[in-house]
Amino acid sequence: MEKKQFQAESKRLLEMMINSIYSNKEVFLRELISNSSDAIDKIYYKTLTDDNLTFDQDNYYIKVGADKENRTLTIKDTGIGMTKEELENNLGIIAKSGTLAFKKETEIKDGHDIIGQFGVGFYAAFMVADVVTVISKALDSDQAFKWQSEGTEGYTIEPHEKADVGTEITLKIKENTEDESYDEFLEEYRLKEIIKKYSDFIRYPIKMDITEKRPKDDNEEELVDHTEEQTINSMVPIWRKNKTELTDEDYENFYTEKRYGFDKPLQHMHIQVDGTIRFHALLFIPENIPFDYYSKEYEKGLELYSNGVLIMDKCADLLPDYFSFVKGLVDSEDLSLNISREMLQQDRQLKLISKNISKKIKNELKKLLKNDREKYEKFFDAFGRQLKFGVYNDFGANKDMLQDLLLFYSSKEEKNVTLDEYVSNMPEDQKYIYYATGESIDRIEKLPQTELVKDKGYEILYFTDEVDEFAIKMMRTYSEKEFKSVSSGDLGIESDDDKKETESEEIENKELLDKMKEILAGKVKDVKVSNRLKSHPVCLSADGEVSIEMEKVLNQMPD
């Protein structure tokens, strides 16, 4: 028998988790059941795609059983099982992908975060158990193994007898302490309750032997124990249920269970389409920006199911980049199980689904913007940049999709407005949509160039995000109105008289201007008389289409 130490990092994390004030200990069961379900998904998928394996519905289940006398709780599944290596690699090391290094210890505030971020689902067992034993036999393997651990001290691993492929996890439930009771995790009714609460939609039966008092046949007065195997979960995946049967809490639980995020969803969309293409989708907009969202590590995509069987974890083709923050899944009857990644990209059905989904997300956001402005602003704070990148990246091709979802700060309203709101507020004589760029609203407020436009009673949009100006350059117009920077050469405001006056001043002061140009040679292209200044003596202005702010960004870009 080999005894191995957990890696140092795992040990620290494990200790932290076990000792953390994790208020919801019951979720350990959800974690173990969802692992079992994943494992059955894997073997189920194999049988469906491998002609040498046959599939029998009855062979796939999860069984939960408690033994009060021995204080053990067992979760058994008929999933794909684990080899010795897999037992060691999957259960012995937490920070598989180096996520631990990513988030510093100090940033971890409570147990919720840990479980959510590191995928330490299995370790949750140690919240309620002193000893965890995993006996597993992998598909395609003759030898089963037993993995055992008492928590932070490491684990042992040795060969073991097991007839069928699958995994059996036994928890030695902790003794009660003065403050904590663990007895509930050995009570049938409690276990049943927890399963119903968190794992009802699991697609495989979760069975328990339930003992009830029943009248004895020949004597109706006398009650005797009667034990019967029952399936606890309803097995209908949540996305196939009727919306009217579901509460917000159901959706939130699902979001947590699926680890879409460790926040709550800001909005969910439950989509059922039954036309030329048929599919169900359950989509979520997170409340917070995922911690890796604006990094290279972030992978967009939705889970893809073919008639209830998971075929891909993250199908990127289902989401355009500008909606990459959306989490969730798609289940379609019309997709073949054997489809490969390359074929998937070409798949017509998938393209149709993807298009349909994008439209639905857009409409949902539009609805939110109209009906719950506060919530929408919260959404836009988190993901608005992504929408602007969407307008910019596809050379304006997405503009119809996205332009009405954009918000910009307005000089007049002193809050965010949509382009539609801007245009509807324009006085009749205003020809352009004016904008000003700068680092912050405060900085833009102080720009001399804004004065004249404001004086005319025109509203100015303040662009504080680098991408803002790039995006509207791609759009060119909104509602047939061109965008115009307040620092561009011709503001379209000056009257003919104004222009004449400027010209004559220009001639009168030629000597002075030439002298200034000489002194500033190489720094500015030209020095001109301006009629757009009120309380400031001078301002910088851009010549042509590229504003000063854009030029700064362009100069920072690698060639």
Which stretches of the chain bind ligand ADP, using CB under 6 A?
A: 31, 35-36, 39, 77, 79-82, 90-91, 119-122, 167
- Residue 31: CB minimum distance to ligand ADP, A: 6
* Interaxial angle between packed helices 111-118 and 8-19, expressed in degrees from 0 to 180 and rounded to the nearest 10: 140
In the list 10, 27, 35, 281, the residue contacting Mg ion (rule: CB under 5 A) is 35
Q: Which is nearer to Mg ion, 29 or 391 (CB)?
A: 29
Residue nearest to Mg ion (CB): 121
User: Which amino acid, one-letter code, is at 88?
Assistant: E
Between the CA of residue 504 and those of 162, 449, 468, 508, 532, what are the distances in Å?
Answer: 99, 22, 37, 6, 15
Is 99 exposed, middle or buried, given 0-12, 13-18 or 19+ CB atoms closer than 10 A? middle
The answer to whether the beta carbons of residues 391 and 402 sit under 8 Å apart is yes
Residue nearest ligand ADP by beta-carbon distance:
121
Query: Which CB sits closer to Mg ion, 97 or 338?
Result: 97
Q: Which of 131, 175, 119, 173 is nearest to 155 (CA)?
A: 131
Torsion-angle region of 551 (φ positive above 0: left; ψ -120 to 50: alpha; else: beta): alpha
90's contact among ligand ADP, Mg ion, none, with CB below 5 to 8 A by partner kind, is ligand ADP
Q: x-or-dash pattern for Mg ion, window 118-157, by CB under 5 A? A: ---x------------------------------------
Which is nearer to Mg ion, 35 or 253 (by Cβ)?
35
Cβ closest to Mg ion, residue 35 vs residue 450:
35
82 binds, among Mg ion, ligand ADP, none (CB under 5 to 8 A by kind): ligand ADP
- Tokens, residue 314: 């993250």
Shortest spacing between CB 140 and ligand ADP, in angstroms: 14
Residue ranges for the binding site for ATP? 31, 35, 77, 82, 90, 96-98, 117-122, 167, 341
| 328 makes contact with Mg ion (CB under 5 A) | no
In whole angstroms, what separates CA 237 from the centre of its chain?
A: 20
Going 326 to 196 to 23 to 247, the CA torsion angle's sign is positive
- Between 39 and 302, CB nearer to ligand ADP: 39
- For ligand ADP, give the closer residue by CB, 36 or 398: 36
Is 81 one of the binding residues for Mg ion (CB under 5 A)? no
Picking from 171, 169, 167, the residue whose alpha carbon sits closest to that of residue 82 is: 167
Contact partner, 39, from Mg ion, ligand ADP, none, Cβ < 5-8 Å per class: ligand ADP
What is residue 176's DSSP assignment? Answer: P
Residue 199 makes contact with Mg ion by CB under 5 A: no
Q: Which does 200 bind (CB under 5 to 8 A by kind): ligand ADP, Mg ion, none?
A: none
- At residue 34's C-alpha, the angle toward residues 296 and 279, to 5°, is 70
Task: Give the interface with Mg ion as residue ranges (CB under 5 A).
Answer: 35, 121
